[in-house]
Amino acid sequence: MSAFHYNFAIICRVPNSLKNRSVGSDNYPNGVDVEKARQEYETIREVLKNCDINIIELVEDESYPDCCFVDDTAVVIGNTALIARPGHSSRQGEVGEIRKVLKGDLRMNVVEIGNAKATLDGGDVLFTGKEIFVGVGKRTNEAGAQAVAEAFPEYAVSKVNFGNCEALHLKDVFNMAGRNVMAVAPGPDVQAVLQQMQDVANYPYHVMQMDSRLATDMLYVNGHLIHHVRQEMGNKSYGTLDEKILWPRHHVQLTELAKVGGSIGSQAILITRTRHPKRIISNIQDEDLGYFTMWKRSES
């Protein structure tokens, strides 16, 4: 099974407490329109179903206002799930239910972070299908990035300094739009991080430059690209997708959830689960491999 092919997604319903207790709600004195946020969430859930994904839907927990942004709670690649340790203390309790589902229901190989000083948000971990980039900065520290490298030794893992970027998470400004296509947000701070990534990358990628951060928010899954509607992306970035993306696309509206830092990718933990996980096949070819990689493929 190749990278970016998933058969399960863990998602979580929007709690009422998102309105005025979520991490980003301080910027909105009148709170968030929870009903509108739920409509946006339901649209993403249906789009994921249309991409041939089985949905595991968790009940919202009012004790954790940001629980619907599940991507920050775990990093899942292949049959391994690394339980994250979110950098904001109010979110660290969210991992309990996620751990239960990954370990008990899906029977994944669950890895815990050993270093008590480590912090790690899943939103800072970008898997390109060939290697992993970890943004070290606001929510993820060096120890958290090291935990990613230890959990996924079969991939090259590169740390990039994300502290000077205005965005909160790496995947707020970088996302995969296809197997070798990386969507990049504008701004000199983002370009500085991109230069770091290009310096340490083990593989080349096509860079698709977008003209806003919102336009960069997308999710590539099972050969489909999920992205924002035209009025949120803007005509220029939407036109870029029309020109360059040849695979099926789905557009969603995310105005309300975006107010408190929500993104399309933050709404789901995507999982590749097979009966024989050791036989998962990478889409990396022999000519892609270098001496610096730690890639190990089992014999068929």
Q: What is the mean pLDDT of the chain?
A: 89
Residues above pLDDT 90, as percent of the chain: 82
In the chain, the number of structural domains is 1
In this structure, what CATH number is given to the domain that contains residue 135?
3.75.10.10
Within a domain: residue 189?
Answer: yes
Burial class (CB in 10 A: 0-12, 13-18, 19+), 196: middle
pLDDT of residue 26: 62
Alpha carbon distance 208, 249 (integer Å): 16
Specify the residue for token string 């096949």.
281
Which of 64-73, 269-278, 285-294 holds the top average pLDDT?
Answer: 64-73
Residue 275 lies in a domain: yes
Confidence (pLDDT) at 93? 87
Flag whether pLDDT at 29 surpasses 90. no
Distance of CA 121 to the CA centre of its chain: 10
Tell me the two tokens of residue 250.
């789905």
- Better-predicted residue by pLDDT, 218 or 299: 218
Whether residue 166 lies inside any domain: the answer is yes
Residue 83 structural domain? 8-280
Mean pLDDT of 186-191: 97
Residue 204 vs residues 11, 130, 145, 163: alpha-carbon distances, Å: 32, 10, 22, 24
Q: Is residue 288 assigned to a domain?
A: no
1 within domain boundaries: no
Looking at residue 252, what DSSP letter applies?
Answer: E
pLDDT at 285 over 50: no
Residue 145 within any structural domain of the chain: yes
Q: pLDDT band at 254, cuts 50/70/90?
A: very high
Q: Is 90 exposed, middle or buried (0-12, 13-18, 19+ CB in 10 A)?
A: middle
| 292 has a pLDDT exceeding 50 | no
| 291 assigned to some structural domain | no
Q: Which residues contact 70 (CB under 8 A, 6 or more apart)?
A: 10, 11, 12, 58, 94, 98, 266, 267, 268, 269
Q: What pLDDT is attached to residue 289?
A: 31
Residue 93 lies in a domain: yes
Can you give the pTM of this predicted structure? 0.89
